[in-house]
A = this chain, B = another copy of it.
Amino acid sequence: MTASVTAALLVIGDEILSGRTKDKNIGYIADYLTAIGIDLSEVRIVPDMEDEIAAAVNALRQRYTYLFTTGGIGPTHDDITADSIAKAFGVAIDHDPRAVALLRERYQEHELTAARLRMARIPHGADLIENPISKAPGFRIGNVIVMAGVPSIMQAMLDLVAPTLQTGARMVVETVDAGSLGEGAYGDGLARIAAEHAEVSIGSYPSFTSTGFNNQIVIRAKDAEAVSRVAKAVRALVESLKSDRVPL
């Protein structure tokens, strides 16, 4: 069996914490990593403060196979991700000739303001991740993958970096729709099944709609046969309880 490959995601930006910008990257990256066999294990959102970013980077890069970051690599003074990563790794940072060359593909010489050149500040020892949309690159240093915050650019960078990543077995997932059958009605039986089948992870997820609760039971594991076996047991449990109609 393949050892599991894990990841954390660090979302960087005051604008997410203030509510001004609604994050669109967490859900996308969660889906993407799950699909390629990397287990997203933790997410953090931190403000544009160098010490906060560096501390989170060091906590997360040591704990998981990969750390992805989004945000803070643009041209303005509040874009401090590259400097914070250099600080976290204890390496120097300067204008990277490879990155400057990429910016020259987009900007004429007189347009290369000091602000735009900030986007070529790359920590020493990092590899660039190209940006097919607006040229200013992301980068990878050690197991840390630094991407833009603008969703379309982040997505393009993720596509470029994904083929270079170590991946594990993909998660196999089966969903049993319990409909309006209450979580509290099947909870005892489900707990028994979960206790008997530690080889799978079983989650129960209510959603609340205009017509009341709708519940789904999700069985996940990397062993397809185990998932199928347990899903069958869960389905039998749900069928046997359809007489109990109290939601949740």
Contacts and interface: CB of A to CB of B under 8 A. Distances in A.
Interface of A: 11, 13-23, 26-27, 30-34, 39-48, 52, 74-79, 106-107, 111, 113-116, 118-119, 133-134, 136, 150-153, 171, 173, 182-188, 190-191, 194-195, 201-208, 213, 218, 220, 244, 246-248
B188 A113 contact: yes
A187 B76 contact: yes
Nearest to A29: B19
A134 B247 CA distance: 9
B43 A44 contact: yes
Contacts of A30: 16-19
A186 B113 CA distance: 9
Contact of A183 (B40, B75, B203, B246): B75
Nearest to A202: B78
A46 to B, nearest CB: 6
Kindly name the residue among A30, A79, A246 whose own CB sees the greatest number of chain B CB atoms within 10 A: A30
A45 B207 CA distance: 19
B44 A17 contact: no
Contacts of A248: 74-75, 116, 134, 136
Cβ-closest 6 pairs across A and B:
A115-B187, A19-B30, A116-B184, A19-B31, A77-B191, A76-B204
Given A75-B183, A114-B187, A248-B134, A40 B22 contact: no
Contacts of A32: 19
A155 B248 CA distance: 18
A27 B19 contact: yes
B111 A187 contact: no
Contact of A246 (B19, B42, B111, B151): B111
Contacts of A246: 106-107, 111
Contacts of A195: 77
10 contacts: A17-B30, A19-B34, A26-B45, A42-B46, A44-B45, A75-B183, A79-B204, A116-B248, A134-B247, A153-B208
A43 B41 contact: no
B107 A184 contact: yes
